[in-house]
Amino acid sequence: MANTGKRKGRRERPDLTFGGVWDYAPAPESTDHVDVAERYGLFVGGAWARPRSGKYFATMNPANGRKLSDVAYAGGKDVDAAVAAAKKALPGWSRLSGDDRARYLYRVARVLQERAREFAVLETLDNGKPIKETRDVDVPLAAQHFFYHAGWADKLDMLFPGQDVQPVGVVGQVIPWNFPLLMAAWKIAPALAAGNTVVIKPAETSPLTALRLCEVFMQAGLPAGVVNVVTGDGKTGRSLVTHPGVDKVAFTGSTEVGKEIQRAVAGRGVDLTLELGGKAAHLVFEDAALDQAVEGVVRGIFFNQGHVCCAGSRLLVQEGVHDVFVRKLKRRMGRIRVGDPLDKNTDMGAIHSREQLQRIRELVDAGVQEGATLYQPECELPRGGYWFAPTLFTGVSQTQRIVREEIFGPVLSVSTFRTPEEAVAKANDTSYGLSAGIWTDKGARILWMAARMRAGVVWNNTFNRFDAASPFGGFQESGFGREGGRQGLRAYVRLGAGLLPG
Ligand code: NAP
Ligand code: MG
């Protein structure tokens, strides 16, 4: 276990001192677990920098509403400096052999593993998700993304045989708050493997793990300017994605902002990938192993408080088992432990922000007003911070807002279907198309259904399983382009004329 300010001298910290601003005096509330600086700067050109904007903003712990740290606000000039640093680093980085780039990425992955506990605690503090998840999912998967892409860095010729493989250039990346470290790894690792340099903007409400990742880059000796981190708000994101020095934009976030970005880059010759929202159908057939399906459905919607773009938020149960399934599901929901995200027994942590809590409440109220039946197990929610109980709606219809809109919270709606054809029709009756899930005992049915579902990922007899080797992405309003797997690397290269004769 790597960690904490309490065990001084165990691990050498990179020198982060900059004009006396960075002291690692821990913020009062987090001293037990991980040291959090009172203030963070921007990471530009391999060093910490004060923001030219002169502004800072606070990031909070959603479990108690208290401030964790002040973080630099990147204005337009800061984004200019970060893009310039990435441009300067590009020739050196892109001319390194794939083997050399791989060494850096392997080093990053290993340091991340060594410091896993520290990252898990920090992510839980800044985001509100349970430590069980940051420890077992977010941090290991983030490391896996660096390992996986390190493996490709010297094999791009094999991935695109006979073609001249070149990096795209400077990549501007914007990520959301629901998987802050994982999204950063997901975006940065393939970009670097293919020889690009990066400017990344984390979400305003969860910037701390992306900033700590910069320490890992320093520890791994990553050359200056290869990755730059600009913290800020939506305006910072806009400055980045519209910056003339950026050759490719990769965005994960809401459909609304995704559309705005698409308009902003249109006609500028900038490559774009968009990973946006979702409203996944989760189907349970009569022949499914129902107890396992209950576990899958619970994981599908209550994992990460439902702040998951691919969450299985629309449950469709075959008519004959609807009543028994809902009974089992309610009983299981009663055993979900909601509370202190740092407690390793907690299943569901805090809602990420006040705004998100308001949105969840608004949609749940709309569900009740539109006539759906609400169920919440008895559960005592902590005081302070932002909390919402696991919620189930039965008696829903396809037209209700809770069925059509992405809630991005722990709210599941249930309806029924009779035939596989009807299941497909209902599952596809959405403007999104990111993911779906099917529980059935019949292999042939899985294949039949999966071929007809308009969703980028279709899980069978499991849900919310992720792997760096598996491409992820959507259709329709869920965006375009794939991330992860061989397909994900395509977005980070330009392919030239064939190198092979003929
Ligand atoms: P969001 O409001 O779209 O924000 C996403 C990121 O974009 C944040 O860093 C945000 O900055 C930034 N941003 C806001 N306005 C911008 C603009 N005009 N130009 C450029 N950047 C801008 O989404 P969110 O509420 O943070 O995240 C939740 C959404 O993300 C959900 O809809 C979810 O489905 C989606 N999501 C999708 C995937 C996927 O892979 N498909 C994965 C995770 C999440 P600030 O935070 O500083 O405002
Ligand atoms: Mg926070």
Ligand 1 contacts CB of residue 434 (under 6 A): yes
Of 272, 309, 310, 472, best ligand 1 pocket probe by most atoms within 8 Å of the beta carbon: 309
Dist. CA 194–CA 98, nearest whole Å = 8
pTM equals: 0.92
Residue 83 above 60 pLDDT? yes
Segment 306-328 shows an average pLDDT of 98
275 is an active site residue? yes
Segment 92-98 shows an average pLDDT of 97
Distance from Cα 5 to the centre of ligand 1, integer Å: 32
Segment 88-102 shows an average pLDDT of 97
Q: What is the dihedral of CA 365, 366, 370, 372, to 10 degrees?
A: -60
pLDDT tens per residue, range 391-401? 999 999 999 99
Residues 162-198 as b or e (16 or more Cβ within 10 Å = b): ebebebbbbbbbbbbbbbbbbbbbbbbbbbbbbbbbb
Segment 7-20 shows an average pLDDT of 34
Ligand 1 contacts CB of residue 174 (under 6 A): yes
How many C-beta atoms lie closer than 10 Å to residue 368's C-beta?
Answer: 12
Of 179, 255, 257, best ligand 1 pocket probe by most atoms within 8 Å of the beta carbon: 257
- In percent, how much of the chain has pLDDT > 70? 92
Ligand 1 contacts CB of residue 203 (under 6 A): yes
More confident residue, 10 or 384: 384
Instruction: Tell me which of 118, 123, 204, 275 is the catalytic residue.
Output: 275
Segment 373-387 shows an average pLDDT of 95
The pLDDT confidence band at residue 497, using thresholds 50, 70 and 90, is low
The pLDDT confidence band at residue 373, using thresholds 50, 70 and 90, is very high
Q: What is the dihedral of CA 351, 353, 357, 363, to 10 degrees?
A: -110
pLDDT tens per residue, range 29-67? 443 568 899 999 999 999 999 999 999 999 999 999 999
Res 267: pLDDT? 87
Distance from Cα 7 to the centre of ligand 2, integer Å: 25
Ligand 1 contacts CB of residue 237 (under 6 A): yes
Q: How many C-alpha atoms does 105 have within 13 Å on its Cβ side?
A: 31
Res 3: pLDDT? 36
Amino acid at 302: F
Beta bridge partners of 167: 493
Domain 281-468, CATH class in plain words? alpha beta
Closest ligand to residue 306's CA: 1
Dist. CA 310–CA 53, nearest whole Å = 36
Residue 352 above 90 pLDDT? yes
Instruction: Tell me which of 309, 310, 477, 483 is the catalytic residue.
Output: 309
Same fold, 17-275 and 281-468: no
Q: Which two tokens stand for residue 300?
A: 């599908």
Distance from Cα 424 to the centre of ligand 1, integer Å: 29
Segment 367-394 shows an average pLDDT of 96
Residues with CB under 5 A from ligand 2 (ion): 59-60, 126, 205-206
Ligand 1 contacts CB of residue 75 (under 6 A): no
Return the residue whose CA atom lies nearest to atom 39 of ligand 1: 275
Distance from Cα 67 to the centre of ligand 1, integer Å: 22
Q: 224 Cβ partners below 8 Å, 6+ apart?
A: 45, 46, 47, 85, 89
Residue from 37, 490, 31 nearest 271 by CA = 490
Segment 12-24 shows an average pLDDT of 32
Ligand 1 contacts CB of residue 176 (under 6 A): yes
Distance from Cα 202 to the centre of ligand 1, integer Å: 9
Residue 275 above 60 pLDDT? yes
Res 15: pLDDT? 33
Distance from Cα 225 to the centre of ligand 1, integer Å: 24
Ligand 1 contacts CB of residue 252 (under 6 A): yes
- In percent, how much of the chain has pLDDT > 90? 90
Of 57, 138, 178, 272, best ligand 1 pocket probe by most atoms within 8 Å of the beta carbon: 178
The domain made up of 17-275 is a member of CATH 3.40.50.1820: no
Q: How many C-alpha atoms does 266 have within 13 Å on its Cβ side?
A: 7
Distance from Cα 209 to the centre of ligand 2, integer Å: 10
Segment 230-245 shows an average pLDDT of 98
Segment 363-369 shows an average pLDDT of 97
The pLDDT confidence band at residue 4, using thresholds 50, 70 and 90, is very low
Res 498: pLDDT? 60
Of 59, 254, 279, best ligand 1 pocket probe by most atoms within 8 Å of the beta carbon: 254
The pLDDT confidence band at residue 120, using thresholds 50, 70 and 90, is very high
Domains of the chain, residue spans: 17-275, 281-468
Residue appearing with tokens 């929610």: 381
Q: Rounded mean pLDDT of the chain?
A: 92
Residue 73 above 90 pLDDT? yes
Of 29-33, 61-65, 207-211, 287-291, which gets the smallest average pLDDT? Answer: 29-33
Return the residue whose CA atom lies nearest to atom 16 of ligand 1: 234
Return the residue whose CA atom lies nearest to atom 30 of ligand 1: 253
Residue 424 above 50 pLDDT? yes
483 is an active site residue? no
How many C-beta atoms lie closer than 10 Å to residue 77's C-beta?
Answer: 12
